[in-house]
């Protein structure tokens, strides 16, 4: 299975991972003993900088078995030019 990053960057040449620019986590609900949780993800290429770096935003939503949003986690990462 392809990762979110691989899917977002498919067809967009980039170099090595260069670092994390931003991180934001928002707790939206509670997890209880017996809950089943899973993560849903989405990635978006935000921009390519003047120096050729690619900025990617990754959104991770942690959901429970009822479909309730428990945690929203967003990270912005940077990839070097190819």
d(CA 63, CA 28): 10
Domains and CATH numbers, the chain: 4-79 (3.10.129.10)
Task: Output the pTM of the full model.
Answer: 0.80
Residue 67's closest CA among 41, 36, 42, 43?
36
- If one counts every other C-beta atom within 10 angstroms of the C-beta of residue 14, the result is 20
**What is the DSSP code (8-state) at residue 12?**
S
pLDDT of the chain, 82 residues: tens digit per residue: 358 788 888 888 888 999 999 999 999 999 999 999 999 999 999 988 999 999 999 999 999 999 999 999 999 999 998 8
d(CA 82, CA 78): 12
């Amino acid at each position: 299975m392809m990762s979110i990053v691989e899917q977002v960057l498919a067809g967009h040449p980039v170099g090595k991972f260069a670092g994390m620019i931003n991180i934001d986590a928002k707790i939206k609900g509670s997890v209880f003993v017996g809950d089943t949780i899973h993560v849903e993800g989405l990635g978006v290429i935000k921009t390519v900088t003047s120096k050729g770096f690619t900025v990617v935003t990754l959104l991770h939503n942690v959901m429970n078995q009822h479909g309730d949003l428990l945690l929203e986690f967003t990270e912005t990462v940077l990839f070097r030019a190819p």
